[in-house]
């Protein structure tokens, strides 16, 4: 069994081949493969099911011990009609460093375990048999590598889980003409009802034409053609000027905006054309939406919007960071929506583009995050900065993403409270992300010790057990005012780093809850605990009453969606099945909603 769906759903071409499935595999604990030139010939002793990491059950290996160097190999079957085209080899994600060889020759390297990359392998291919080989290095105990929730000890502990090494997202090939579209960035301007397209094309496109077609619910709205004079250019389309109102699109501009309640999407097709011959065709989509802050509130499409988020770590029992099938993403989003949440905060992971695709189509807000490095190191800071360039490049066009979170709870910048070096690094991340993506909000350090930030995200699990009335009373008291939220110690940490303070930004309680409830007889822990479904619902309601009573909070993120290994504090168990009746969670989430939106 392997993942078969199209892996890059916002940049779709028809001519592609999925390379998931059985690959030859080898551990290289002696690090002998390079010296012995395994890329030119080696008898591999194992097979692995790609795209599942060797630590997972779905890989067919299920070995959770440390192996810092691993190798993959498989044959490439190049179709006959690809012979005169460029062949691009794509990797969804490979953790952590990899070298890619075709027919024994190095065709590219990549560092970073959570982002996509590609190589043009055309010149490495032969007319006979073609062999693809990967050498992957994932240092198991190196704390200078962005690891997210992957343990750097021998075994999972606390909030840290089994490592994910090697290929963990889809591998695939596609064939393109020499003249093809390299990338397109799409930005919506809701106030002017315009869509800005930023194109990058290959040299061979110069002198040819790019055709752009936009449609909504099957009805064509825009058809445009432009001659290509250089490799990078922009085009802005004003949907009003293109008479969108006269094409039966609900009759009002708010009828086709994207939101969780009505996730309207525009379909768009790009073609590179030469004398009526289509050389390249890419299908995509965009959502017209706007996110900004004003008067201490978050606004979606120029209206105050209360965010009801749930923390989503994206782990599965059999696949760890890799979902077994596309339907798993659909199921999770539909469950979250049916529980009354309108979004999720992806936690310590760059989520699969297929999840984002379904969030776009089903209508679900997403806070995008990265995998942190455990402790401060100059090399680590450079690595994380590089990954953010690649994260934004990959995910910029998804309308569901409304917030970026580069740092969580001062992980990796443990001295940020007083260290000007680490404060400046957090500021550099904030401003770099804002410069690359001015269309979204950025939370500089979610949880505490915040510097410059668009949202103040506070973490507070000190609501206690039901019988700890004094602790709960303090929890309620601190939530009521901005001063209580921003001057309290949370987990013994200050909400702002030295020299920074509240400047009127929206305040959200972005981690709390974590009620442990063992519904399937698994040992584990949570921040509080109950023993029955009835107790769980009572405790969930007790905590949510405090959240909704706050006159200051403009949203929340409950911990968490599902159990993960030793953590049993999810609304779902580790198999992503509900622990309690979903409608009862929704009833609680919706009960005081009318009290929370401040007009």
Same domain, 378 and 247: no
Number of neighbouring beta carbons within 10 Å of residue 342: 21
Number of neighbouring beta carbons within 10 Å of residue 446: 28
Is position 10 within any domain? no
Q: Check if the beta carbon of residue 249 is closer than 8 Å to that of residue 219.
A: yes
**pLDDT value of position 551:** 84
Domain count, the chain: 3
pLDDT band for position 597 (50/70/90)?
A: very low
Residue 131: give its domain's CATH number: 2.60.120.260
**pLDDT value of position 598:** 40
Is position 223 within any domain? yes
- 397-425 pLDDT, tens digit per residue, is 999 999 999 999 999 999 999 999 999 99
Q: Check if the beta carbon of residue 281 is closer than 8 Å to that of residue 575.
A: no
- In the predicted model, is pLDDT for residue 252 greater than 60? no
Same domain, 198 and 335: no
Same domain, 429 and 488: yes
Between CA 559 and CA 569 the distance in angstroms is 7
- 335-362 pLDDT, tens digit per residue, is 999 999 999 999 999 999 999 999 999 9
pLDDT band for position 241 (50/70/90)?
A: low
Same domain, 241 and 340: no
- In the predicted model, is pLDDT for residue 31 greater than 70? yes
- 49-91 pLDDT, tens digit per residue, is 999 999 999 999 999 999 999 999 999 999 999 989 999 999 9
**pLDDT value of position 487:** 75
- In the predicted model, is pLDDT for residue 245 greater than 80? no
Residue 553: give its domain's CATH number: 3.20.20.80
Same domain, 348 and 208: no
Boundary-marking domain end, from 176, 191, 224:
176
**pLDDT value of position 250:** 42
Is position 9 within any domain? no
Is position 8 within any domain? no
Name the DSSP letter for residue 386.
H
Structure tokens at 540: 């969930």
**pLDDT value of position 357:** 98
pLDDT band for position 286 (50/70/90)?
A: very high
Same domain, 299 and 274: no
Same domain, 391 and 265: no
Residue 254: give its domain's CATH number: 2.60.40.10
Same domain, 393 and 317: yes
- 375-402 pLDDT, tens digit per residue, is 999 999 999 999 999 999 999 999 999 9
pLDDT band for position 126 (50/70/90)?
A: very high
| H or E, element range at 94 | strand 94-95
Same domain, 302 and 365: yes
Same domain, 576 and 460: yes
Name the DSSP letter for residue 454.
S
Same domain, 265 and 133: no
**pLDDT value of position 267:** 97
- In the predicted model, is pLDDT for residue 246 greater than 70? no
Least confident segment among 31-45, 96-110, 239-253:
239-253
With CA atoms as reference, report the closest residue to 63 among 100, 23, 113, 26: 26
Same domain, 84 and 112: yes
Is position 2 within any domain? no
Boundary-marking domain end, from 256, 286, 316:
286
Q: Please list, in sequence order, all residues whose beta carbon lies within 8 angstroms of the beta carbon of residue 349, skipping any fewer than 6 positions away.
A: 114, 148, 149, 313, 314, 321, 369, 371
Domain range enclosing 341: 291-596
Percent of the chain with pLDDT over 70: 95
Residue 330 dihedral angles phi and psi, to the nearest 5° = -60, -45
**pLDDT value of position 524:** 85
Boundary-marking domain end, from 286, 304, 334:
286
The overall pTM is greater than 0.75: yes
Q: What average pLDDT does the structure give for the chain?
A: 93
Name the DSSP letter for residue 571.
S
**pLDDT value of position 155:** 86
Q: Check if the beta carbon of residue 383 is closer than 8 Å to that of residue 146.
A: yes
Name the DSSP letter for residue 519.
S
Angle between helices 378-395 and 353-362 (to 10 degrees): 40
Is position 6 within any domain? no
- 88-112 pLDDT, tens digit per residue, is 999 999 999 999 999 999 999 999 9
Q: What share of the chain is helix, strand, coil (3-state, %, to 5)?
A: 20, 35, 45
Is position 567 within any domain? yes
């Amino acid at each position: 069994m392997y993942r078969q769906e199209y892996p890059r759903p916002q940049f779709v071409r028809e001519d592609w081949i999925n390379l998931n499935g059985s690959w030859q595999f080898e551990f290289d604990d002696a690090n002998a493969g390079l010296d012995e030139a395994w890329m030119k010939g080696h008898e591999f002793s194992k097979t692995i099911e790609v795209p599942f990491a060797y630590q997972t059950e779905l890989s067919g290996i299920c070995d959770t011990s440390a192996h810092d160097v691993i190798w993959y190999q498989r044959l490439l079957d190049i179709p006959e009609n690809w012979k005169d085209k460029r062949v691009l080899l794509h990797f969804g994600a490979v953790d952590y460093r990899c070298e890619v060889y075709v027919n024994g020759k190095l065709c590219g390297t990549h560092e970073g375990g959570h982002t996509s990359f590609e190589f043009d392998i055309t010149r490495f291919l032969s007319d006979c048999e073609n062999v693809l080989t990967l050498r992957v290095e994932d240092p198991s105990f190196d704390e200078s590598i962005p690891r997210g929730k992957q343990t750097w000890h021998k075994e999972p502990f606390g909030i840290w889980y089994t490592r994910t090494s090697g290929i963990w997202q889809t591998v695939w090939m596609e064939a393109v003409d020499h003249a093809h579209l390299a990338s397109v960035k799409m930005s919506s301007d809701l106030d002017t009802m315009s869509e800005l397209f930023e194109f990058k094309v290959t040299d061979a496109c110069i002198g040819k034409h790019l055709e752009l077609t936009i449609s909504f619910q099957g009805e064509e709205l825009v058809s445009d053609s432009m001659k290509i004079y250089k490799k990078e250019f922009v085009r802005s389309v004003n949907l009003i000027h293109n008479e969108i109102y006269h094409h039966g699109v609900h009759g009002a501009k708010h009828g086709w905006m994207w939101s969780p309640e009505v996730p309207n999407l525009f379909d768009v097709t790009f073609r590179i054309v030469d004398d009526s011959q289509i050389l390249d065709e890419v299908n995509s989509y965009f959502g017209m939406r706007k996110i900004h802050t004003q008067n201490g509130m978050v606004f979606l499409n120029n209206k105050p919007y209360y965010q009801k988020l749930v923390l989503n770590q994206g782990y599965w029992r059999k696949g760890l960071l890799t979902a077994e099938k596309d339907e798993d993403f659909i199921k999770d989003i539909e469950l979250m929506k049916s529980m009354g949440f309108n979004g999720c905060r992806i936690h310590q992971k760059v989520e699969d583009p297929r999840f984002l695709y379904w969030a776009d189509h089903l209508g679900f807000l997403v806070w995008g995050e990265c995998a942190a490095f455990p402790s401060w190191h100059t090399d680590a800071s450079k690595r994380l900065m590089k990954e953010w360039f690649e994260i934004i490049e990959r995910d910029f066009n998804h309308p569901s993403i409304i917030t970026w979170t580069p740092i969580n709870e001062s992980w990796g910048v443990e001295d940020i409270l007083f260290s000007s070096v680490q404060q400046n690094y957090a500021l550099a991340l904030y401003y770099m992300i804002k410069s690359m993506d001015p269309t979204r909000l950025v939370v500089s350090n979610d949880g505490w010790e915040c510097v410059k930030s668009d949202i103040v995200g506070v973490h507070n699990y000190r609501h206690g057990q039901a019988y700890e009335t004094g602790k709960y009373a303090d929890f309620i008291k601190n939530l009521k005012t901005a001063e209580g939220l921003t001057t309290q110690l949370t987990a013994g940490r200050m909400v702002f780093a030295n020299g920074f303070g509240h400047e009127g930004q929206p305040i959200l309680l972005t981690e709390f809850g974590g009620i442990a409830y063992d519904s399937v007889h698994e040992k584990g822990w949570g921040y509080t605990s109950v023993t029955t479904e009835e107790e769980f619902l009572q405790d969930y309601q007790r905590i949510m009453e405090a959240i909704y009573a706050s006159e200051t909070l403009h949203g929340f993120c409950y911990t968490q969606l599902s159990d993960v290994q030793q953590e049993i504090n999810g609304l779902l168990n580790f198999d992503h099945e509900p622990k309690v009746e979903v409608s009862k969670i929704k009833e609680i989430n919706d009960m005081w909603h009318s009290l929370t939106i401040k007009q």
